[in-house]
């Protein structure tokens, strides 16, 4: 769990999409971290929040990250 208060939750998504989003953000100069429960990694699926990946960026980059992703 990301507990550093400098990081803010950008969005929740599936594992494949999360990797694409992280790549897009990093190409735009925005550092991103992904967090997923171990069960989702082991079983390889997302259902009812299980296996969801949370994408975090630095709080000062949240607005810019939303613009990059048009969220």
- pTM given for the model: 0.82
Which pLDDT value is given to residue 43? 62
d(CA 62, CA 32): 10
d(CA 29, CA 44): 29
Q: In the chain, what are the domains?
A: 7-69 (3.30.70.1530)
Scanning the chain, the segments in alpha helix (DSSP H) are 15-27, 38-43, 62-69
H-helix or E-strand containing 56?
Answer: strand 53-58
Summarised one tens digit per residue, pLDDT across range 47-61 is 656 678 999 999 999
Which pLDDT value is given to residue 66? 97
Summarised one tens digit per residue, pLDDT across range 18-39 is 999 999 999 999 999 999 876 6
Place of tokens 């000062």: 60
């Amino acid at each position: 769990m990301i507990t550093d208060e400098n990081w803010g939750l950008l969005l929740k998504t599936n594992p494949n999409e999360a990797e694409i989003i992280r790549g897009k953000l990093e190409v735009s100069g925005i550092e991103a971290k992904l967090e997923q429960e171990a069960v989702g990694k082991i079983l390889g699926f997302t259902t009812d929040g299980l296996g969801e990946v949370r994408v975090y960026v630095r709080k000062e980059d949240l607005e810019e990250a939303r613009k990059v992703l048009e969220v």
